[in-house]
Amino acid sequence: MTRKIALTAALIAGTATAAFAADNPMVGGAPMMADMTIVENASAAPNLTTLVAAVKAAGLVDTLASEGPFTVFAPTNDAFGMIKEDSLNALLMEENKDQLTQILTCHVVATEAFSTDIAGMIADDGGMHVVPTVGGCELKAYMEGGELKLEDENGRVSTVTIADVDQSNGVVHVIDRVILPAGQAG
């Protein structure tokens, strides 16, 4: 009888976990769990390994694992691949930690904003909404061809490729380009 109860509980838990993941988009082929933190989910996504390495190098793991809520615009490995390799390697060095931290925090907003929230703000503001980030950057959010776009302070545009990845401490929107603070080239 005990084995049957344990098996039933395991099946229910497995079903609940699968259903939990099914509500969230997959990122890099990995299921994203709404009961896990931004750091935990990003670490499971094979297309966010450069972002995770950068977050570790900047010492931001504890921050992005904290209660939040946060909205994170998460650049993929391909997005980081648009930065020259020697520039990226230099950013990951200890002596450039402050610059890396600023770049990464320009991808973070100190609230939870799903794509419908952002689209509503864009509509309310007449087609473009200014998004202030934790890193002091101001992004311009707008819709184009049904896609959510973000323009950084250098005029570089990124597109949200996967929206609304729910996390226990916020939401992640995967983007196709690294956001840079004013005056930084990419």
For residue 186, is it within any domain?
Answer: no
Give dist(CA 98, CA 104) in Å, integer: 10
For residue 182, is it within any domain?
Answer: no
pLDDT reported for residue 54: 94
For residue 54, is it within any domain?
Answer: yes
- Which 8-state DSSP code applies to residue 179? -
Residue 55 phi/psi, 5-degree rounding, is -60, -40
For residue 136, is it within any domain?
Answer: yes
Number of domains the chain is built from: 1
pLDDT digits (tens, 9 = 90+) for 13-37: 333 333 344 578 999 999 999 999 9
pLDDT reported for residue 185: 61
The amino acid that residue 116 corresponds to is T
Give dist(CA 177, CA 111) in Å, integer: 21
CATH number at residue 50: 2.30.180.10
For residue 17, is it within any domain?
Answer: yes
pTM for the structure as a whole: 0.86
144, β-bridge pairs: 147
151, β-bridge pairs: 140, 157
For residue 183, is it within any domain?
Answer: no
**pLDDT-flagged residues of the chain (< 70):** 1-22, 185-186
141, β-bridge pairs: 129, 150
- Residue 106 near residue 75, CB atoms below 8 Å: no
For residue 180, is it within any domain?
Answer: no
> In a 10 Å sphere around its CB, with 0-12 CB exposed, 13-18 middle and 19+ buried, how is residue 75 labelled?
buried
For residue 184, is it within any domain?
Answer: no
pLDDT reported for residue 22: 52
- Residue 103 near residue 90, CB atoms below 8 Å: no
Residue 142's domain spans which residues? 2-175
